[in-house]
Amino acid sequence: MAGRADMSRIEDLARLYRILDALESKSNGKRALGRLGSHRDWPPMGVYFFFEPGELRTGSGSGPRLVRIGTHALKAGARSTLLRRLRQHAGNSSGTGGNHRGSIFRLLVGDALIKRDGIERYPSWGKNDGIDRSAESEMEAAVSDCLGRFLFLCLPIDDPPGPDSGRGYIERNVIALASGSHGPIVDPPSPLWLGHNSSRDKVRRSGLWNQRHVDESHDPDFLEVLDAKVAQAAKLKD
């Protein structure tokens, strides 16, 4: 039974990446987070899929490996837009800083950089008390530089904010499917993956810069929904 379940998971992962390949063809290729620009024609709502330099698939096929999946405005009445959320992750447009308290993605990457390099001068990182933002500016800039090289795809889904959002359904199922927390891991992170240095157990185990949904099981039917959403998506303009 376990072997059959493992094969099903590999097949689902392979299909997920085929769907993302179709999305990429509609998106004029992946975009670098460090080059967001204004992009006035971007959709207001969507799901994003991040790929990290040096991280490749090894068990579900070939090509870049997903490292983070996310969306925004999952609370009723939320006003965050897709572009605004991506800008929170990217930091300042100049690449010189940002605010990791407004982006869990930035917080996690900064934490891993601090642990990897044995840096002790950022005791307030990730904390909300005793904050000295000026003391954190150098690390915020390092995080912006690191994340600026990540590539991503966006899937427009214009549904209203709320916990029943279709965006949330796709987000949590892609995370659950791509997570390495379900052994044996299909697409393990490379030995040099920055996330190995994370202080967060869920990041290290999942191979993703995500914490929510990494220990959940995916609903195989979500791939039909995702496929249909990609087929309906209009081409994104440069």
Please give the average per-residue pLDDT across 222-226, as a whole number.
Answer: 97
* 231/155 Cα distance (integer angstroms): 10
* 55/65 Cα distance (integer angstroms): 6
Average pLDDT, the chain: 89
pLDDT digits (tens, 9 = 90+) for 16-58: 999 999 999 998 899 999 988 766 678 889 999 999 999 999 9
**N-to-C CA span, the chain:** 47
* 116/7 Cα distance (integer angstroms): 35
- Burial status of residue 188 (CB atoms within 10 A of its CB: 0-12, 13-18, 19 or more): middle
Does 238 map to a domain? no
* 20/23 Cα distance (integer angstroms): 5
Query: pLDDT tier at 3 (50, 70, 90 boundaries)?
Result: low
Does 220 map to a domain? yes
Does 120 map to a domain? yes
| Bridge partners for 153 per DSSP | 49
Residue 237 has pLDDT above 60, yes or no: no
Does 112 map to a domain? yes
* 16/186 Cα distance (integer angstroms): 13
pLDDT of residue 1: 41
Beta-carbon contacts of 128 under 8 Å, excluding residues fewer than 6 positions away, are 101
| Radius of gyration for the chain, computed over Cα atoms and rounded to the nearest angstrom | 18
* 157/165 Cα distance (integer angstroms): 9
- What domain count does the chain have? 1
* Percent of the chain predicted with pLDDT > 90: 66
202 touches 195 (CB < 8 A): no
Q: Is the peptide bond before 184 cis (omega within 30 degrees of 0)?
A: yes
Buried b or exposed e, range 23-60, using 16+ CB within 10 angstroms: bbeebeebbebbebeebeebbebbbbbbbbeebebebb
pLDDT digits (tens, 9 = 90+) for 54-102: 999 999 999 999 999 999 988 887 888 999 999 999 997 555 688 898 9
pLDDT of residue 235: 61
pLDDT digits (tens, 9 = 90+) for 140-177: 999 999 999 999 999 999 888 887 889 999 999 999 99
Domain span holding position 91: 2-232
Does 43 map to a domain? yes
Whole-model pTM?
0.92
pLDDT of residue 207: 98
Q: Tell which wins on pLDDT, 129 or 28.
A: 28
Does 44 map to a domain? yes
Does 237 map to a domain? no
Does 174 map to a domain? yes
H/E/C letters for each residue in 194-208? HHHHCCCHHHHHHCC
